[in-house]
Amino acid sequence: MLHGYEDQLWIGLKMTIGVASLSLLVGLVLGMLGATAKLSSNIFARKLADTYTTFVRGIPELILLLILFYGGTILAQKLFSALGSEEYVEIDAFTAGVLTLGFVFGAYATEVFRGAILSIHKGQIEAAQAIGMNRLQVFRRIMLPQVWRFALPGIGNLWLVLLKDTALISVIGLDELMRKTYVAAGSTQDPFTFFAFAAVIYLTLTAISMAVLQTAEKRLTRGVKQI
């Protein structure tokens, strides 16, 4: 049915999962930093985080990807020649993809984490301070365990979006699932089968993710009264 392209598609699938996982890591870090900045008392940090989320959420992912992929190479080139290096540097599709998707994920995650941090009861933090915990301890022992719980549904949704957005990187030629599918569809003249197959794979990834998220949510809320 797949004209012997199974291996190629398998390689593509692994690349898709790899890119998505790495972007998730970058995005989570950026999201945490963003939320901290948005809630900080430093006005500069707040403005910076506001600008970040406003810009990233208002610009198509594809445009950001193209800016980073084509523009990034030129910028890196200029930077290196300014430093007196003759080396040829290039932002490859993989790096551009991970950075873009991580960047986008981080912007949305900033809002999710901010909401999660705000939903922690003030009394708990006051109690922690009253028994003499310092700020780091309050963060690690009181806030972090609960932030994960509050943020999980939102982060889960973002992960599902991220998984699908990896298909965009095929536009700049990264050999992930979508690109492999596109090539196979073109050379076999059987596009419907291949694109439908890719759709099924993405649906499967979504279904698996949803099942895992549900289990995780149950586990994280096992100590919470369910209404």
Partner 1 sequence: MLQETYELVRDSLPALVAGAATTLELVVIALIFGFVLAVPLALMRTSKNPIFMGFAYGYIFYFRGTPLLVQIYLTYYGLGQFEAVRESFLWPIFREAYWCAIIAFSLNTAAYTAEIFRGAIQAVPHGEIEAARAVGMSRVLQYRRIILPSAFRLALPAYSNEVILMLKGSALASTITILDLTGAARVIVSRTFAPYEIFITAAVFYLLITFVITRGFIWAERRLNPQLRRPA
Q: Is 2 in the site for partner 1 (CB under 8 A)?
A: no
Q: Is 76 in the site for partner 1 (CB under 8 A)?
A: no
Q: Is 203 in the site for partner 1 (CB under 8 A)?
A: yes
Q: Is 207 in the site for partner 1 (CB under 8 A)?
A: yes
Measured from the CB atom, the residue of 32 and 165 that comes closer to partner 1 is 165
Q: Is 183 in the site for partner 1 (CB under 8 A)?
A: no
Number of residues that bind partner 1 (CB under 8 A): 38
Q: Amino acid identity, residue 164?
A: K
Nearest distance from C-beta of residue 220 to partner 1, angstroms? 23
Q: Is 133 in the site for partner 1 (CB under 8 A)?
A: no
Q: Are 19 and 101 in contact (CB under 8 A)?
A: yes
Residues 6 or more apart whose CB falls under 8 angstroms from that of 24 comprise: 102, 105, 159, 162
35 C-beta neighbours (distance < 10 Å), count = 24
Nearest C-alpha neighbor of 136 from the set 120, 149, 122, 125: 125
- The single residue among 21, 55, 89, 141 that binds partner 1, judged by CB under 8 A, is 55
Q: Are 127 and 136 in contact (CB under 8 A)?
A: no
Nearest distance from C-beta of residue 191 to partner 1, angstroms? 4
Q: Is 190 in the site for partner 1 (CB under 8 A)?
A: yes
- The single residue among 71, 145, 153, 173 that binds partner 1, judged by CB under 8 A, is 71
Contact region for partner 1 (CB under 8 A) — 17-25, 63-71, 94-102, 111-119? 63-71
CA dist., res. 9 & res. 27, Å (int) = 26
Residues 6 or more apart whose CB falls under 8 angstroms from that of 189 comprise: none
Measured from the CB atom, the residue of 100 and 142 that comes closer to partner 1 is 100
Contact region for partner 1 (CB under 8 A) — 19-27, 34-42, 61-69, 90-98? 61-69
119-156 burial string, b = 16+ CB within 10 Å, else e? Answer: ebeeeebeebeeeebeeeebbeebbeebbebbbbebbb
Nearest distance from C-beta of residue 79 to partner 1, angstroms? 13
CA dist., res. 2 & res. 106, Å (int) = 37
Q: Is 208 in the site for partner 1 (CB under 8 A)?
A: no
Backbone phi and psi for residue 90, each to the nearest 5 degrees, phi listed first: -145, 135
Binding site for partner 1 (CB under 8 A): 55, 57-64, 66-67, 70-71, 74-75, 160, 164-168, 170-171, 178, 182, 185, 189-192, 195-196, 198-199, 202-203, 206-207
